[in-house]
Amino acid sequence: MRILRVLFSVLMAVVMPLPALAKDGDIIGAPDDDGTFYVGVQYGNPPSSKTGTDANKCTWTPAGETSTTDSPVIDVQVINGQTQHLFLRSCPNGITRVWVSEVPPNNLGGIVTDMATAMLTKPELGSAPAADTGIVNVDMWLWTSPGSYQTVKTRKAWVPTPAGPIWAQATATPQHLVFTPGEPDSQPFACDGPGQAWEPSFGDDAQSACMYRYLHSSEISPSGTFTATWSIVWSISWTSNVSGGATLPAYLTTTTQEITVKEIQALVVG
């Protein structure tokens, strides 16, 4: 009888020498004497337009556009080669002066793709027979939990600019599973979807689209087990409101599993 076994840190790309907002509305860093903050990339829903509000009902207006005097407003500066623009961040609880660095869309794309990879989970290995009760020449059903095989989408990373906000967002989509058996002369093979978990009601002769048949006992291995790997292959892409975005090379999340395979000896009664 088959036995069922179902089995943020965010990597942040450094694109500027300024701190970023950890979450919507939380400006990191103490203000200068004049109440000006220096910030970088922010996360969440940006303003929908140059005059729109962000997720915290705050508007971002270039400081030069708010001047009511004939005196010029210094609203652009370059620090360590980094161009920064001064904004007035108007929120229900007050107004803050904020210097924001220019960030290319590709840099935002790099940030959100790093966020996406950090959010991905390793596949849980489900097998029947279980991983420690494999049998030579008996098909082993393979699957992963549906929860580990789901599309992941990041929050938007964005910065205000004098022309309006620019943002990027990444999506990671599972493409297929790959099982590497670990026995001699075996090759990795792919399965579409998360696989079908085996149920006792299926019976021992039922077939799955994701199965592997071990041809050797794991006793031939010095450790007594075969070291198998179980991977999800992901397609990760990012899009931006000012750029077409990009698709990364295939990305894998992998679980290692020791597989015990025994050979059943036939008993002949004559």
Cα torsion for 143, 146, 148, 149, to the nearest 10°? 90
Reported in sequence order, the residue ranges of 53-93 that DSSP labels E, i.e. its strands, are: 59-62, 76-79, 82-91
- Tokens 């450094």 -> residue: 14
Whole-number pLDDT of residue 20: 42
**Any idea what DSSP says for residue 5?**
B
Whole-number pLDDT of residue 18: 36
Where exactly are the structural domains of the chain?
Answer: 36-101, 107-262
In terms of DSSP H, where are the helices of the chain? 105-119
Whole-number pLDDT of residue 9: 25
Whole-number pLDDT of residue 243: 84
Contacts of 70 by beta carbon, 8 Å cutoff, 6+ apart: none
Whole-number pLDDT of residue 32: 64
Q: pLDDT tens, position by position, for the chain (270 residues)?
A: 333 222 222 222 223 333 344 455 445 444 566 667 777 788 999 998 888 899 889 999 998 887 666 666 788 999 888 899 999 999 999 998 999 999 999 999 999 999 999 999 999 999 999 999 999 999 999 999 999 999 999 999 999 999 999 999 999 999 999 999 999 999 999 999 999 999 999 888 889 999 999 999 999 999 999 999 999 999 999 999 998 899 999 999 999 999 999 998 644 455
